[in-house]
Amino acid sequence: MVIDKRLVYDEEISPLVQQIIEICQRENIPFVMDFGLREGDENTEAVYCMSAMYGHPGMMRTPAFPGVVRALGGETECADAPLPRGSML
């Protein structure tokens, strides 16, 4: 069975995520978000969307963030850009 939530993400969640990112950038608040958007059988490509921001000057230091990002499959060197895991929308 294929579960596909990409349309819900695109129409309802993505605009909220953009607002959260803008507020966090303005206020220097670190964050990690990871959304599972599609999964299924071996013939279905899994789709994930992950964003993270941390480690900027003046931002709170959260020592767990690099490990969390790595555990989710992202690259810790790319602190303020969306980080892909699987495929990204």
* pLDDT classification of 75: cutoffs 50, 70, 90: low
For residue 88, is it within any domain? no
Q: Give tens-digit pLDDT for 18-58.
A: 999 999 999 999 898 999 999 988 888 889 888 888 878 88
For residue 52, is it within any domain? yes
Domain that holds residue 70: 3-83
For residue 50, is it within any domain? yes
For residue 89, is it within any domain? no
Q: Give tens-digit pLDDT for 4-15.
A: 999 999 999 999
- CA atoms of 25 and 10, how far apart (whole Å): 21
- CA atoms of 69 and 34, how far apart (whole Å): 9
Q: Compute φ and ψ for 25, nearest 5 degrees.
A: -65, -45
pLDDT value of position 66: 77
Count of structural domains within the chain: 1
Sign of CA dihedral 72, 80, 47, 10: positive
Quote the Cα angle for 76-81-84, to 5°: 70
Contact predicate 30/1, CB 8 Å: no
Q: pTM of the entire structure?
A: 0.69
pLDDT value of position 85: 38
For residue 58, is it within any domain? yes
pLDDT value of position 76: 52
